[in-house]
Amino acid sequence: MDNGDQERLIAARYRLLHLLGQGSMGTVWAAHDEVLRRQVAVKGILRPPGMPDAEADLLRERTMREARAVAALSHPNLVTLYDVVQHDGDPYVVMELVPSRSLGEVLQEQGCLTEKQGAAVLDAVAAALTPAHRAGITHRDVKPGNVLIADDGRVKLTDFGIARNVAEATMTARGITLGTPAYIAPEVAQGGDVSAAADRWSLGATMWAAMAGEPPYVGKNVMQTINAVIHGDVPVPAGAGRLAPVISGLMRKDPDERLSLVDVRKQVYALLPEPGTDAFEVRNPVPLPVVVRPKPKIQPDAPLADDPGPLPFLVTNPLPPVRRRSRVATVFVLVAALLLFVVGSGGGFALTRYAAGAPLLPPTAQSLPTLPTLPTSATLQQRTASAAFVTGEQGGKFTLSVEQSWSTYAEQRASDPWLPESAVVHFVSGSGAYEVAVRRFPGFYPKYDIDSYLTGVAARWPGAFFVSGKVATPNLAGPRSEDSIQFVYKTVEGEGTDAVRRSHFSRVLPYGKDLWVVEVIVPTEQEDEARARLFDAIASTFAPV
């Protein structure tokens, strides 16, 4: 890191301490989170030299999308993503800081892994990929450099920096190579679709290199290596011992024939280190410098500062006991209360606002949050998307009128006690203030009904405030088990001064055996205006294809 980056503050929160590494896609620093006072890793996404502005914008947008998807993943063998911010127009990803060496560095030090070390790495990476694949996210660059061996012996998969949701349109800019040639799957090298099976091939190639001490395919240049991956025979794993059948099972040319992650873990289970033992040497991590801000010195004769005014937050600590009032003071309070009561309806209005948690006086123009301008129906354009599962399940296409510039990403949600598995497509405005979510439950009927969906919503948002009951709405053309409804509910995301209030307009549309939900999410401050300009204008254009 050059001197210009030393102690640089990102997004008024993350102070860069020193450089950890740099590659073709980004630079990673050790940093200090000055809000939570913990050490983190901050990755800045590099703009390749000569990249046009338009493609740089696509790269930034893609990074933000991927961060949203990866942030939903949580697993002991995955490096946790804490935050994604923009600073001077560039995206930065804030992650868990893991004192560690990469598997590539370990291989440089000791040549290759032992059988127990190989089993530990194979099991950990397979475990890490499982929740990602379940959510429809592929890593796309599993390799020794992205497997971390922590100083305390843990194994973690990192750098979903080029991961994307498989249902999202590809946004690869020219000049950016997705994947590392020696570990890329044959079908991907030929320009085919990326699937979870491609990650399994890359895991096999990574373990081939870990046990043999060199990659399975080595060429004099990139094109020669890719040609060998596509057309060459799969080499027999060298030095893999009892792990050889597993590695060969992962590196089958036909993606449909590759071992599943579940079978991988079953086959290496007996080879894992004994419980309570570490496959890798536990090392003493080098402590990061702790940022300590000196307390300001107070001069004895210095004048007191001006009164800062009321606190910008609620006091949650219990207040000290109040001394008993005198009889005269009590009478005075009673008289004042009677006078306030006589004020009449104005007092009732104030009490109503107070009970609802709203300020007694309307906010001034200066205190209102700055909100983006709502789009108009004239800027909405018909778009086609698919709420289909990663498994290749048929159906799921739909059309909807929405802003053309809004970003699109998709996810697959697991079932819960009230609802089956579903696929969701999100359309998000550039500011992030507005969102349209289309959710599809295939095979919803006859086991479930709309009341099941409402129960599921209430379970997902325990503190949600439902402001309207079920209201009849036009049905979709075609067979249905129930009539369509719509309703509105409000949520609070975050806590304290960072809390964001959102209003969710939902239209629930039975269609054959499926249930579709079109939801428009807006800041509560713009609820009334958004109902007509967004929800009514968008939800009425939805149609399955």
Query: Tokens 């475990």 map to which residue?
Result: 127
Q: CA angle at residue 139 from 258 to 173, to 5 degrees?
A: 120
C-alpha dihedral sign at 443, 446, 451, 456: negative
Collect all residues with Cβ–Cβ distance below 8 Å to 436 and sequence separation of at least 6: 400, 402, 406, 426, 427, 518, 519, 520, 521, 534, 538
Residue 384, CB-side half-sphere exposure with 13 Å CA sphere: 3
Q: Which of 33, 123, 141, 159 is catalytic?
A: 141
Catalytic residue list contains 141: yes
Give residue 332's region: left, alpha or beta (phi > 0; psi -120 to 50): alpha
Distance CA 443, CA 423 (A): 12
Q: CA angle at residue 157 from 51 to 192, to 5 degrees?
A: 55
The single-letter code of the amino acid at 402 is: V
> Bridge-partner residues for 515, per DSSP?
441, 510
Query: What are the start-end ranges of the H helices in 151-304?
Result: 186-189, 196-212, 222-231, 244-250, 261-268
Distance CA 31, CA 19 (A): 9
Q: Which two tokens stand for residue 190?
A: 């030929």
- The DSSP secondary-structure symbol of 10 reads E
Helices 196-212/261-268 angle, 10° precision = 30
Catalytic residues, which ones?
Answer: 141
